[in-house]
Amino acid sequence: MDTQVVIIGGGPSGLLLSQVLNRAGIATVVLERSSRAHVLSRIRAGVLEWGSVELLREAGIGARMDVQGLPHDGTYLTDGDRMVHIDFKALTGRRVMIYGQTEVTEDLYAAQDAMGTTVLHGVEDVVIEDLDAAQASVSFTVDGARRTLTCAYVAGCDGFHGVSRKTIPEAKRQEFERVYPFGWLGILSRTPPVHDELIYANSEHGFALASMRNPNLVRYYVQVPLSDKVEDWSDDRFWTEFKRRIPAQAAAALVTGPSIEKSIAPLRSFVSEPLRWGRLLLLGDAAHIVPPTGAKGLNLAFSDVHYASEALIAALAHGSTAGIDGYSARALQRIWKAMRFSWQMTTMLHQFEGEDSFAAQMRRATLAHLADSETAQKDLAENYIGLPY
């Protein structure tokens, strides 16, 4: 074999899997379509479950996160000016960490470089074959030349549009999807946060989220129709709309400034089963997409890394394939629970086009129940900080 595991996709899940495997003495080659600069320019998630924090530490890349990350003991859900605090630390004994995906990816690249791992960029036309043979093969074009690698297993970490999931025959895949009729318009701005914890705001004008990356860099969102374009939203229009959707207490503390990044993300829930086909394992967005409402996308990818790395280490270091055989079912149990939570949060906080007055009352009643019920708060907190692996 040319290597033991070929990892398709050099984003955080592929790099973390490579990091964990290499530390266990298992050789990998990582194939990435984009340049490193492009991967590091992606503005993505910023909330890490505590299980993700511990996984990064165990992988030897937690040092900068522990210095620069912002531990959060809770979050706020609001209805108009009413703010309900969900105290993660008091309810579960755990917390979340605010540390951007870009920072995680930068740490992973540095660790992989230090190990001397082969990470190839600019890879095109990937073809995965021989998944039912003694060795799998992955052929691709890089630097104008066609190459083929043989390996024991292939890890598909190449996202929703990648080749890995599509390698599984269509007749053997079962896909589940819900597309939501709105998106999130998000901006990045070098301004101080309106609050020291995240605020998920439900208002008569629509949903808004006040998030952050560090004490001087915020990531704010407002719910918008899918027909909207980024060009429709000037900075002034965004700040005006954001301010009227968050509680007055937070709005009074709002500091505005020029946006340094602005984008609209559609919301969808998607799962493809199975996650394993012969010598191929699917991880992250290659297998599932969640709405960002519950902060589960990157964290679900990392839980896949946990299950996949355990299975691959058992197979390649100890000769047991039980973990490989059980990978899909094991990972999917946690994926579907996270799907439920993200769907619940999305339904609870967003206005849906054409909804009646009853729907708005149900959102208010749900928040009122959360305010009065420690049991309901604990359920939300347990899911938000991350169910155990």
| HSE of 35, CA atoms in CB hemisphere, 13 A | 3
- 172 carries an active-site annotation: no
One of 220, 307, 327, 384 is an active-site residue; which one? Answer: 384
| HSE of 286, CA atoms in CB hemisphere, 13 A | 30
| Sequence-ordered list of residues with C-beta below 8 angstroms from that of 192, at least 6 positions apart, any chain | 215, 216, 218, 255
- 180 carries an active-site annotation: no
One of 296, 306, 327, 350 is an active-site residue; which one? Answer: 296
Strands, sheet with 276-277, edge to edge from the N-terminal-most edge strand: 118-121, 28-32, 5-8, 153-156, 280-282, 276-277
What's the CA gap between 12 and 65, in Å, rounded?
Answer: 14
| Sequence-ordered list of residues with C-beta below 8 angstroms from that of 51, at least 6 positions apart, any chain | 299, 302, 303, 306, 386, 388, 389
Count the Cβ atoms, other than its own, within 10 Å of residue 282. 29
- 243 carries an active-site annotation: no
CB 157 within 8 Å of CB 286: yes
One of 193, 274, 291, 292 is an active-site residue; which one? Answer: 292
Closest C-alpha to 323, from 313, 335, 336, 337: 313
Tokens 């589960």 -> residue? 296
CB 143 within 8 Å of CB 122: yes
What's the CA gap between 9 and 152, in Å, rounded?
Answer: 17
Count the Cβ atoms, other than its own, within 10 Å of residue 362. 13
Structure tokens at 56: 């990064």
What letter would DSSP give residue 216?
A: T
What's the CA gap between 86 and 385, in Å, rounded?
Answer: 11
- 121 carries an active-site annotation: no
One of 76, 99, 180, 200 is an active-site residue; which one? Answer: 200
Pairing of strands 153-156, 5-8: parallel
CB 57 within 8 Å of CB 104: no
- 72 carries an active-site annotation: yes
One of 12, 72, 195, 221 is an active-site residue; which one? Answer: 72
The residues annotated as belonging to the active site are 72, 200, 292, 296, 384
